[in-house]
Copies of this chain bind each other. A is one copy, B any other.
């Protein structure tokens, strides 16, 4: 099959990790006789510096002409004093909005081999396998009005949702649950927020279309605790934009490292793929970054955009095998006895995955 992928590597460790993901995808294409073409464009801090804007028109046009976009990471400390709409992150948010994907899928699951890396007890995380579905185009991230009125010394953002916005992402979450363990947990703060009351009412309405899925509602504060106490209790977890941002990062501790987590954003014109981790400027350029989040993000491209399920599984199996054989990037060595492990640089880890494929 043919696939046109735009790579927007972005800032910090973005280029290092997307390089490895692209190399893996190229090997998959060669092995399976597929034709994947890769184009590169700028986004985020590098685009601010070189193009004067975090999302150049050329990048956006190229993205809209692709089948999938693979993003590395955006952000850097040198931009911290800029207002939200001028920062590297604005480029990412504009890209998300333009591509139109509203359902951000963030799997969090325990790799047995990495149990020692989790601050959670092994018996708590063992077997945990959660799929977060984070609404990605609404809520505080995009809600109007928003401003910082410096004269008045006052600032505001708006958490806003329409019924349709909630219903469409809920449908994706219910469908995913049907293909999994048939349980959906919807997260809100309906005891305080009107916007959560609309959220809950809409999810309840959509539930009628999926009678085989068990639906439960949890308040976001309670959920932040339950996810740590009983991660195995959860199958698909549906959240609004900011709650999903917080809870999915928190759940990285189930996997053992934020560096392991992939994500895919679907439902729009072009699918957008990003590892969950950030640009990590402190370790950028040192070969310390974990490329497995990006490589597993590549596996999500194979599964969701390309429909190559076997190839996606092969990548995941290769990652697991490398971990089984003791291959570890620096972030995965924390708190472990270095004996029996193999400390790998970013490129060495990528190479091991490709050799194992």
Q: Which residues of A contact B (CB under 8 A)?
A: 75, 80, 83-84, 87, 89, 93, 119-121, 124, 140-141, 143, 146-148, 152-164, 189-195, 197-199, 220-222, 224-225, 228-229, 242-243, 245-250, 252-253, 258, 278
| A195 lies within 8 A of B120 (CB) | no
Q: How far is the CA of A341 from the CA of B258 in the complex (A)?
A: 38
| A194 lies within 8 A of B147 (CB) | yes
- Give 6 CB contacts A-B under 8 Å: A120-B120, A140-B189, A154-B160, A221-B249, A222-B278, A228-B253
- Counting chain B CB atoms within 10 Å of each CB, the highest count among A89, A192, A253 belongs to A192
Contact of A250 among B84, B87, B120, B224 (CB under 8 A): B224
| B157 lies within 8 A of A158 (CB) | yes
| B160 lies within 8 A of A156 (CB) | yes
> Which partner residue on chain B sits nearest A116 by CB separation?
B121
> Which partner residue on chain B sits nearest A228 by CB separation?
B253
| B197 lies within 8 A of A83 (CB) | yes
CB distance from A6 to the nearest CB of B (A): 23
| B194 lies within 8 A of A242 (CB) | no
> Which partner residue on chain B sits nearest A253 by CB separation?
B228
| A154 lies within 8 A of B148 (CB) | no
| B119 lies within 8 A of A189 (CB) | no
CB distance from A91 to the nearest CB of B (A): 12
| B195 lies within 8 A of A148 (CB) | yes
Q: How far is the CA of A51 from the CA of B283 in the complex (A)?
A: 60
| B162 lies within 8 A of A154 (CB) | yes
Q: Contacts A120-B228, A225-B258: A89 and B192 contacting too (C-beta < 8 A)?
A: yes
Q: For A121, what are the chain B residues with a Cβ–Cβ distance below 8 Å?
A: 119-121
Q: For A250, what are the chain B residues with a Cβ–Cβ distance below 8 Å?
A: 221, 224-225, 228, 250
| B87 lies within 8 A of A155 (CB) | no
Q: How far is the CA of A38 from the CA of B337 in the complex (A)?
A: 56
| B158 lies within 8 A of A154 (CB) | no
Q: How far is the CA of A159 from the CA of B228 in the complex (A)?
A: 27
Contact of A153 among B93, B153, B162 (CB under 8 A): B162
Q: For A253, what are the chain B residues with a Cβ–Cβ distance below 8 Å?
A: 225, 228-229
CB distance from A77 to the nearest CB of B (A): 11
Q: For A141, what are the chain B residues with a Cβ–Cβ distance below 8 Å?
A: 192
Q: For A189, what are the chain B residues with a Cβ–Cβ distance below 8 Å?
A: 140, 242, 245
Q: Contacts A156-B158, A225-B258: A197 and B249 contacting too (C-beta < 8 A)?
A: no
- Counting chain B CB atoms within 10 Å of each CB, the highest count among A140, A157, A163, A225 belongs to A157
Q: How far is the CA of A284 from the CA of B319 in the complex (A)?
A: 48
| A246 lies within 8 A of B228 (CB) | no
| B143 lies within 8 A of A156 (CB) | yes
| B119 lies within 8 A of A229 (CB) | yes
| B157 lies within 8 A of A194 (CB) | yes
Q: How far is the CA of A247 from the CA of B247 in the complex (A)?
A: 10
Q: Contacts A120-B228, A253-B225: A194 and B246 contacting too (C-beta < 8 A)?
A: no
Q: How far is the CA of A75 from the CA of B192 in the complex (A)?
A: 11
